[in-house]
Amino acid sequence: MPWFPDFVGAVELARHDTQIAGRTDPVAQYLRALQEGKSRLLEEVWPVQVVILDPRAGVVTGHSALRHFISRNQTWLAEHHAQTETLATTRVGQRAVVELRVRVEHEGQDVSWPVAVVADSPDDTSVVFRTYCSQWPVDGRRHLRPPILTARPHHPHDVVSRYQAALAAGDVDAIVRTFEPDGYYQEPTGPEPLHRGTDRLREFFDQCFAAGGGLTLEQCEVTDDGTRCVLEYNCLRWGPFDLPPQAGLAAFERGADGLLAAVRAYDDIEPPKSDPS
């Protein structure tokens, strides 16, 4: 009996390897699909459903919309010579949160763009990708982003909880005490987005709470691996100002002494400027 190469078996093996790699590191698979312009890299790993919640494109679902989204983003990334660096990964169960630095060329300048991507896979056939960032670095505008998740209150009983309480109260002293002496807060955007050390943190939060009162965040999802606690939220109020509910994400990185080594925010929320009356 003549022997023929098992092409079908080889294809199935390659597909299986792709599925394993994608489920092991779903955000890497997502970024690869964007960079290569190949939606099949996602469809082969999660054949039933791929949903993307993107601050620029909105909700992307279905094969046709997915292919259009992937193709358009590949073109945009190539035109802006984008390079991606992973800052931190937080994984619990079937959810992974990856914080990125995306370097792009914008109007002749090299821009560092903080982006966070959440991959939530309820089973082996479906996945939801949620991306959080400010669009200011790449188009010079802030964009109101409606909530993409519903409230699910969580109560971490450590420094993250103390930070949240101080933020809601607008208490500068209390919030600064939650950081290590060399801890930092990273804004989603701004001319000087990193505020490191007690003095810089105090100055930053003084400005945040200048109108009186703190920020009211509606907690939605928490991904906590013990080192980092990632909170997906809706911002409802800033000082005396009610805001249209807006989606965002913050990552809290704990230091060895139990205080915060870093807080990194990913949203497009603009501080209110008008008189609340």
Q: How many helices (H) and strands (E) does the chain have?
A: 8, 12
pLDDT value of position 108 = 79
Please state, for a pLDDT cut of 90, what percent of the chain lies above it. 75
- Residue extents of the structural domains in the chain: 7-133, 159-266
CA angle (19 as vertex; 220, 100 as ends), nearest 5: 45
The secondary structure of residue 158, as a DSSP letter, is S
Q: Taking Cα atoms as reference points, which of 235, 132, 139 lies closest to residue 186?
A: 132
Per-residue model confidence as pLDDT tens for the chain (277 residues): 344 454 444 434 444 445 555 678 999 999 999 999 999 999 999 999 999 999 999 999 999 999 999 999 999 999 999 999 999 999 999 999 999 999 998 777 888 899 999 999 989 999 999 999 999 888 888 899 999 999 987 777 799 999 999 999 999 999 999 999 999 999 998 556 899 999 999 999 999 999 888 999 999 999 999 999 999 999 999 999 999 999 999 999 999 999 999 999 999 998 887 555 4
Residue 231 and residue 250 in contact, taking contact as beta carbons nearer than 8 Å: yes
pLDDT value of position 45 = 94
DSSP helix/strand/coil, 218: strand
Topology annotation, domain 159-266: Nuclear Transport Factor 2; Chain: A, (3.10.450)
Residue 63 and residue 46 in contact, taking contact as beta carbons nearer than 8 Å: no
Q: Do domains 7-133 and 159-266 have the same CATH topology?
A: yes
Those residues whose C-beta lies under 8 Å from the C-beta of residue 81, and which sit 6 or more positions away, are 104, 105
Q: Taking Cα atoms as reference points, which of 204, 267, 261, 209 lies closest to residue 235?
A: 267
| H/E segment holding residue 80 | none
pLDDT value of position 1 = 37
Q: Taking Cα atoms as reference points, which of 249, 240, 236 lies closest to residue 211?
A: 240
The CATH class of the 7-133 domain is alpha beta
pTM for the predicted model, two decimal places: 0.90
